[in-house]
Each structure stands twice: as C-alpha cells, then as structure tokens.
Structure 1
Amino acid sequence: MRADGVPDVFRIGPGRLTAGLDSSPRLDYDTHRRVHGRLPRLPIDDLIALAELGDLRGRGGAGFPFARKLRAVIDSAGRRGAPITVVVNATEGEPAAAKDKVLLTRAPHLILDGADLVARALDAREIVVGVAHGGPGERSLLNAVHERGMTDVVRVVRMPDRFISGEGGALVAGINGERPIPPGRKVRSSDIGVGGMPTMLSNAETYAQLALLAMLGVDLYSSVGTPLEPGTVLLTVTGSARRPAVVETPTGVRLREVLDLCDAVVGRGVLLGGYHGKWMPAEAVEQAEVSRAGFEALGGALGAGIVIPLGEGTCPLGETARVARYMAEQSAGQCGPCYMGLPDLARAFGALADGDGHIEAVRRAADGVRGRGACGHPDGTSRFVLSAIDVFAEDIMTHAAYGTCGLPVRGVLPLPAETSRAKAQEAQLSVDWSRCEGHGLCAHVVPELISLDQHGYPVVSTASVPFQLEGDARRAIEMCPALALRLAPAPAEARR
C-alpha cells in the first residue's frame, strides 16, 4: 500500500493498463505517450466497429456492451437534435474497489484518451469526469487535464464518497446539481442525462480499455485473454491478502494464481463482485477462471473486479452482518424496499449471526426487497446476504447451537473509516418500566423497532437503531405520554 492509500499494482503477463507503472509512480503526458503511443482519431462508425470486434463491455459491474451504448446515444441525439455529453464515472463508491483509483492516480491519461476518443467521434460538447470528493485521484486527474491543455473541454465533478454515488443515475443527478442519488425510476442516460440531454456514460476503466483497443488494434488487443472475452481485467484483491493490490491479468487465468500473487489465504470463502456480488465457497476457488463466464459458471460474478478472500480467524457471519448494516445505511431513502427493507434484512442476518435468528426470516426479508426497489441497491444487497446463507451453512448451524463460532469479527471486509466512527455512536431504544403505562403510541410511530405484546405493552427490538429510523425513534421518545422511552448507547453485542 502506497502512502496515498492507493494499493500496489501487480500483473500477470505483460502490462496493458499498467504499462510503465513499474518504473514510474505516475505517467505524465509525455511519459504516457512514450509508453502507449499515439491515439488515433476514429469516425463514429469505425469506433463502434472497433468496440464490437474487441467485445468491449462496461467494467463498472454491469458488463453492458460499449458499442450498444454508443448506438443508443447516437439514436437519441438524432431524434432530438440535441448535443451529447461524455461522462466518465470514476466515483468508485464501493469500499472494496480500488482499480479506478489506481488509474486516476497513476495512469489518468488512459482514461482521458478514451473519453477524448469518444467525444471527438460523437462531436460531444463536453467531457465530465465524476470523482469521489477528497479521493486520492482527483489531483492527479486535474493535473492530467492541464497537461493536455483540455481545461476548456473537461470538467471534474466531486461526488460524496458513498456506495450509491457510484450508480450512474446518481452521478448524473450530482452533475446536474441535484441530490446525488439514483433517480428512483428507470432512466437511460443515453436519453436523459446531463442537462437533460443525451449522455454517453461509462466507467473509468472502460474508457481506458477503449483507448488501449484503439492504440493496439483488435488483433494485438485480443492476443491475450480468452476468445470470448479478450484482453485484460483489473482486479482489486483485499481481505486476507497479505499483499493487497490491484492486479492486471488476462482473462482465462486461474483465480488461484491471482490469490497466490497477493499471498492470500482463502479460508471459508471468497467474495466476488463486491457488496452487490456473491460469496464463493473455498472449494470453487480451485476451479475458478478469471472472466465473466468463468465466475458465473460457478455461481459468482465478476462485477467491478472485486476479489475478497475471507481468510482464517474471522467469523464469516459477523463479517457479512457488518457489511449488511453498512449497505442498509447507504440507502438513498427514496423507496420502502431500501429505506425499511434493507434495515430489516440487516437485522435478520444480524440475529442469525447472534445465534438467535432464523434463515427463513432472512429469506423473507430478502424477498421483501428483491425486484421492488427504485434502483439496484436492494437487489444487490439481498444477493450478497443470501449467498452467505448458502456458503456458510455450517457456520449458521454452529451459531444456532452455541451462539457463536468462537471466532472474533476482525473487519476483514473493507468498510469506510466513517463506518467505524458511526459504529461507536450506535444507539438502542429501551423502556423505563417504572414509568411505562402501556399507551402503545410508540409502536405506531416506529413500528419497525417496537411492537406490542398481548397486553398492549411495548416489545422493543434489541438491535441498534438504523440511521434511517433515528428521527422516528426520537419522535416516539418525545411523544411518549409517560416519558418512558429512552435512546441509549447500544451495548457491544448489539453493535457487533
């Protein structure tokens, strides 16, 4: 790990995206050109053909074909007679991801090459790059814009460093000066994006890959990787890795080779695709091939290229419960499945980790959010949690029998520092039974945390109050006629 918090860079085979980084901490514009050569100018038809022949797909997680995005934005602009804006999503709100940070910090000109190539082909009026506010790559990117003399063409927009800020619709909203959350309805940026105009939006690595494809040509670009998924991918390897890094590897390489390079112990499993991804059991790692198809064949997902081996010595259920709480906190708060459903899911899994929950309660909570959210956050979070039930079945039985597996929760799954600070401030509702008169008003104000028993007295959840419900919890306290309700710091076992 470098002093600026950006991981080390390793590679398997010749460097493409990481070329030159073994001898330079950052490629300035002159060094970038010496390493990568001249960027051609391509008309839009040639650019679309290039993206199709190289099977270029989005590297932000969805894997959508880049050529189809180009066609969609061209069709929309043609119908409306409207100008196009090119947007680079380099926000990388996922706490476990670092590949875009590495590109921004050390190879920013590859990203700008790809964006410039698209902007010229589409005759776009502007390039907008979204970055995480205060992130390590912002200064490097701004310097790169100045080095190229593109300050009148490229605009850099800072976004809050939150999980949902990495969603494309949230980025567009932030660029438009609105609250940076997913739009709450299905809107294609190719139709309605920046300023309400057609927008070509893709991930930072995707633009960097496009630049490489244009400079290398299809044959050389496809000379590594698999025939169906040519080229290389960037993987962020953290978790139990003794040498956490961003690894560039051709597709088709065994996942075991990547993990060995980072000196990682698999332990009970590996999380693939990040916190919207899936857990993979340890035995599947030996068979896994690094590619979309390779991971999917074993029930995993490549997603944004996140690989988190769990290692030994930490509780798998406790680790998953930590992330489930974090994901509930990251709700945009604009729909029920996210605002109330994800806290329910986090509580249900937390109870399972505490040994007094039930798998069916977790499944019911997941069923309540899947396919019902205003964006993909509820679906992705439920996918992550449900995969833990499948992979850690033995641990669930152990927790049910003994209340614990005997292992601490070491925080192997990366979460932002703010989460640790927030954890110390978590609170829990409690009742002063010497005062309570059973009015039952509190259960009507915050039914997510308080129910009534057969006599009309409150039954209060022992879980910590999610941040989304803090306002309702305080209203219940204020409205209690007997002043019997309290909000106190949660005990350690409730915050685990």
Structure 2
Amino acid sequence: MRAETVVGPTGPTSMPAGSRPLRVRVWPGLSERAALLGPGLPWPAPPAPGPDLEVPDPERLDPERLDLEALAELAEAAELRGRGGAGFPFAVKLRAVAEQAGRTGLAPVVVLNGEEGEPASAKDRVLMTLNPGLALEGLRLVAAALGAETSYAYVSDPAARERIAAAGAVWPGPGALRVVAAPSGYVSGEETAVVRWLDGGPAKPTHKPPRPYESGVAGRPTLVGNVETFAQLARLVRRRTEGDGLTVLLTVGTDRGEHVVVEVPDDRTLGDVLAWLRVDADEVLLGGFFGRFVSTGTRGRPLRELASRAHPDVLGCGIVLALHDTCPVSAVAQVLRYLDRENAEQCGPCFKGIPAMAGVADALAAGTAGAEDVQRLAGWGTSLRGRGDCGTLDAACGVVTSLLEQRADVVARHLEAPCGWCADHPERPEATAFAVPWPAEIKEER
C-alpha cells in the first residue's frame, strides 16, 4: 500500500505569470453559516442539528453515537448526490458500503477524493483552501457511521493538500487519517484509479466490476467521495436554519480567460447564475470536458434538477463554460485532442477511437470534412460509449454527440466552409485554454 503521507506544509507555490485572481462569490442572502464557502464552524466540532432535520431523531446524528441509517435518511431526504461528476445518490453508496462490510466482516475505508482532474474546474480546491474543516467533518461523519478504521484524503494540489493536512492534524477519529499526495491528471480522480493508487499501483482506472464498495483499498469495502459531497453532508448535519436546502458549487469560466467559483442555492436556475455574473454568451458547455452544450430551456431549469440527472443536460462536476468567441466545432476539437492526450492508454477503443474522432473534428473545423465523415463521427459517438474503463472515451462520445445533435446547424455550415473564427484560428488553441490557472490568488467577493 502506498505510504506517502503529508504531515505538514509543503512550502509556497508560485502563481502562473500574468494570471488573474480567481474570484469567489456566494449568492446574495445565503448566510455565512449556511455557505460552504463561508467561514464555517470551528473544526473539530460536534454537529449541532436543529429541529428542521428530516429524520426521526436528530440526536442519532451525534458523532459519538452516530446511526448510519439516520445519516443515510438525511442524505436521502435532501437528495444529496455525488458532486464529482457522476451524480450518484450518496445514501445508496453509503448503504452499499455498509452492507458489503456486513457481508464480508471487513472494516470499510473512506476516501475524500480531492483530485480535481477537470482543467476547467476549481471548486474543490477552493473549498479545501477556504474551509478544509467542513470537508473533513463530512469525512469524519461517514467514517464514524461506517465504523471505518482508516480514512484517506487524496489530494494532488500542494496548497490544498497543505490546508487539509493542517486541519487534519487535530483529526479526532475514528481511526487514523492519512493525507496522501495524489498524481494530477484527468483520469486519476476516477474512483478505481484512486483505489489503485492507494494500493501502490498507478492512478489508472480498472475494469468494473468490482467497484470500490465491493472491493476497494486493501480489498476492503471502500467509499470514495468528492470533497464537496462530504462538505454538503456536514452542512446538512450542522444546519440550524429551518428551510435551508442544499447549495451548489460551480466553476464558471469563459473563453476570454475569466473564471469565478460561486456557491448558489440549488433552487436557482442556470439563467439566474449567468445573469447574476453578467455572463452573456450564446454558447454554454455544461459539465466541462465531460459535458454537453445547453439545449433550449436548460437555462430555465433549477440547478437541483440539472444535478440530479433529471434533465439531459447534466451539471456533472459543476463546470459552466461560456463561449463568447470560440466556435462550438473548434471547442469540441480542442476537447477531443485533450482527451486523447489524457486517456489511460489501457483500452483499444479508447486508444484508437478518441484520435479518430479528434481527426474528424479537426477536419470539420478546417472545412475539409465531408458528410460521410460526419456520419462516421456520429456512429463512433454511439457505438464506442461504455467501451472504455477510464471515462475519457465516454466524455469524447458525449461531447461529440452533443455537438452533432444540438448544434447540427453549425456542423452543416462547416461542411460548406469553415466559420470566421475557425478560419482565423487554423492552429486552434489547446483545450487547456479553458483551464482555470492554478495556483491562484483567491479573491473573495462578499
């Protein structure tokens, strides 16, 4: 098992030259106590549930005598889902790990997954920087409920890892907390890659099944959860104001190099957020490099609905990328080239399929693709989905299908000639042009 553990600060890290401060904003009226990005409560501190908790007996959530089913009921009532991209119901994951631990007699493992592999996302690093104790509080609640003997914080960014390690120095249990330096990469945050790394292997996904809840770190039932997910759970337990719902953390960026991390009540709409931030762009890619172009009506849907997969345009890991200037065809070509570089090189369909799709997208942007090329691209987008382990192939299929189905008129025009933007940018910028510059100076705007 990999034993690298951070026990103290890792030293200063310089900001990229010429980078702008990363703005952080909290929705007006969201109380500091309710906000994940607020100052939070002292850590460590026992939760103090109020009368608004939607469970039979709030005292069952005392961490000293924590009832797992009460915690699951709370997460279920709030419709808490994973915030790392998959959107899986947290209560289902929690119960699955507990049931597997009961069947096998093995003490489970809990992992806070702080590897934010999406280049256009920064919400988890900001949360770990501003309020690391809240994320650790959620980790502690789950570890206590499951009876875990070991908990991990898996974090690649040195500055965020330093903050987690400093907060974790007063970890009150249960068991031990190990803060581990994770490798940075698009696939290294996938849950089986996390388990593989903690077991001493490469941070590359494995074939499923088994999934971590069945056999994870050292063969034990393992719950791997996103940083925001754990923080949201801790906030649910701690909340005192009746009527408080969940919030959503978003990284909103533009192709003009503007980035802001925001926290918004989940009953607000995507349109509300864009209007609040004064972002006026015709094209919006929702969900990052694993995302889709927003369809008609999406801007008017509540974030809660987009996070729950009740709508085809899913929020994913909370990335909202506004394209003021970049052509959607070029944007997809850039994303495909990035995914080609980042794939785990373990599966034939992924190793061969993504560059093939990228080649057609490049030709389409250049105005040299034909109708038969687009037909092949559409076929790959459907037939290759689900045939890779690392997720990059599914991401490629998703963004290609979204372009062809939701921006068919743009594609049709490119079959005749490249648009002005594509003609003026024949070399096309790297997809990392959409990335949040990091390390960053965080500028909180209250």
Give the TM-score taking structure 2 as reference length: 0.81
Match of 1:96 among 99, 104, 120: 120
Match of 1:168 among 191, 203, 215: 191
1:353-380 superposed Cα distances (whole Å, 9 cap, x missing partner): 1111231121133234213223433122
Distance 1:317 1:295, change over 3 A: farther
**Cα distance in 2, alignment partners of residues 351 and 415 from structure 1:** 24
1:243-267 superposed Cα distances (whole Å, 9 cap, x missing partner): 5211111122121221133332213
Measured after TM superposition, the shift of residue 307 of structure 1 is 0.7
Distance 1:241 1:414, change over 3 A: closer
**Cα distance in 2, alignment partners of residues 414 and 295 from structure 1:** 25
**Cα distance in 2, alignment partners of residues 66 and 161 from structure 1:** 25
1:250 equivalent to 2:274? Answer no
The match for 1:301 is: 314
The 8 Å contact of residues 89 and 201 in structure 1, kept in 2 or not, is answered as yes
What is the CA RMSD across the aligned residues, in angstroms? 3.1
1:302-328 superposed Cα distances (whole Å, 9 cap, x missing partner): 1111111111x2222112101111111
Distance 1:294 1:197, change over 3 A: closer
- SS in structure 1 of the partner of residue 201 of structure 2: coil
Map 1:78-93 onto structure 2 (within 5 A): 78-93=102-117
The match for 1:329 is: 341
1:402 equivalent to 2:417? Answer yes
Corresponding letter in the other structure for 1:351 = A
Match of 2:434 among 411, 414, 418: 414
**Cα distance in 1, alignment partners of residues 364 and 158 from structure 2:** 36
Match of 2:289 among 240, 250, 275: 275
Match of 1:186 among 190, 209, 223: 209
Stretches of structure 2 that go unaligned for 5 or more consecutive residues are 1-13, 50-60, 439-446
1:40 equivalent to 2:40? Answer no
Match of 1:393 among 404, 408, 415: 408
The match for 2:95 is: 71
**Cα distance in 2, alignment partners of residues 51 and 20 from structure 1:** 16
Corresponding letter in the other structure for 1:213 = L
1:111 equivalent to 2:135? Answer yes
The 8 Å contact of residues 110 and 211 in structure 1, kept in 2 or not, is answered as yes
1:425-446 superposed Cα distances (whole Å, 9 cap, x missing partner): xxxxxxxxxxxxxxxxxxxxxx
**Cα distance in 1, alignment partners of residues 364 and 180 from structure 2:** 41
| Higher relative contact order (CA closer than 8 Å, sequence separation 6+) | 2
Corresponding letter in the other structure for 1:252 = D
1:276-335 superposed Cα distances (whole Å, 9 cap, x missing partner): 121114x54543332235895663111111111111x22221121011111111111111
Distance 1:234 1:416, change over 3 A: closer
Corresponding letter in the other structure for 2:326 = T
1:205-248 superposed Cα distances (whole Å, 9 cap, x missing partner): 1111111111126x83xx24xxxxx4111111012477521111
Give the TM-score taking structure 1 as reference length: 0.73
Higher-Rg member (1/2): 1
**Cα distance in 2, alignment partners of residues 256 and 20 from structure 1:** 22
The match for 1:266 is: 281
Structure 1 window deviating more from structure 2 (142-151 vs 52-61): it is 142-151
1:378 equivalent to 2:393? Answer yes
- SS in structure 1 of the partner of residue 364 of structure 2: helix
The 8 Å contact of residues 295 and 301 in structure 1, kept in 2 or not, is answered as yes
The 8 Å contact of residues 232 and 250 in structure 1, kept in 2 or not, is answered as yes
Distance 1:240 1:256, change over 3 A: farther
**Cα distance in 1, alignment partners of residues 161 and 218 from structure 2:** 23
Measured after TM superposition, the shift of residue 45 of structure 1 is 2.6
1:172-200 superposed Cα distances (whole Å, 9 cap, x missing partner): 10111111111123222111001111112
The 8 Å contact of residues 254 and 321 in structure 2, kept in 1 or not, is answered as yes
The 8 Å contact of residues 319 and 411 in structure 1, kept in 2 or not, is answered as no
The 8 Å contact of residues 93 and 161 in structure 1, kept in 2 or not, is answered as yes
